[in-house]
Homo-oligomer: A and B are copies of this chain.
Amino acid sequence: MTRDGIDGEAPTLDQARRQVEHYGLEVDPQAVLVAVRLISAGARVGRAAEAHFARFGLSTGRYRLLADLEDHGGEKSPSRLAADLDVSRATITGLLDGLEREGLIARRPSTEDGRGTVAVLTARGAQRLRDMASEHFGRLEAMVGGLSIEERAVFLDLLARVVRGSAALAAD
């Protein structure tokens, strides 16, 4: 498991230790390992999610947008979507373009703001969500099936704290 070259994906404690020593730093190798594993895990999970949504002709971003729209009654402005999904407005434009091309959402001008637009979930979009719901949620559940209820609670807590800590990466 700590072998080299075979699994080739998860960074090891040895690697972290070697690096820290190589530069003569006084940093805890385990802390580095946790950080590196999290970054690596994030990428892996992200790609798995992308493959998952591809089955339904969607991507992670497009699904999140659709689901958020539905949860909000089927209508929302792009700016609001950007804030709620925590991505840039430009990204929302791109996601809406794709979803509109497939007829899963529609854009209509805002009635109360001349600059504004509102994204509307179409019947087709709602249908797509319905069609995939069972398999989608089933797989999500299976993904965390290896953890007990208590472990899940602990994981949620730790994850939230590390995510908060990740601000330290980008700070300044």
On chain B, the residues within 8 Å of A133 by CB distance are: 19, 23, 25
Q: Which residues of B have CB within 8 Å of A10?
A: 160, 163
Q: Which B residues are CB-close (under 8 A) to A161? A: 146-147
Distance of A37 from chain B, by nearest CB (Å): 6
Contact B8 A169 (CB under 8 A): no
- The stretch that binds B, out of A27-35, A103-111, A113-121, is A27-35
| Chain A contact patch, size range | 35 or more
Complex CA–CA separation, A165 to B32 (angstroms): 23
Contact with B along A139-172 (1 / 0, CB 8 A): 1111111110101111110111111111111110
Q: Are B163 and A8 in contact (CB under 8 A)?
A: no
Q: Are A45 and B38 in contact (CB under 8 A)?
A: yes
Q: A144-B162, A145-B168 are in contact. List 20 more A-B contacts (CB 8 A).
A: A5-B84, A8-B83, A10-B160, A10-B163, A19-B67, A19-B133, A19-B137, A23-B130, A27-B137, A27-B140, A28-B141, A34-B156, A35-B143, A38-B45, A39-B60, A41-B162, A42-B46, A139-B171, A145-B165, A147-B162
Residues of A with Cβ closer than 8 Å to B?
A: 5, 8-10, 15, 18-20, 22-23, 25, 27-28, 30-49, 51-52, 60, 67, 70-71, 83-84, 86, 130, 133-134, 137-147, 149, 151-156, 158-171
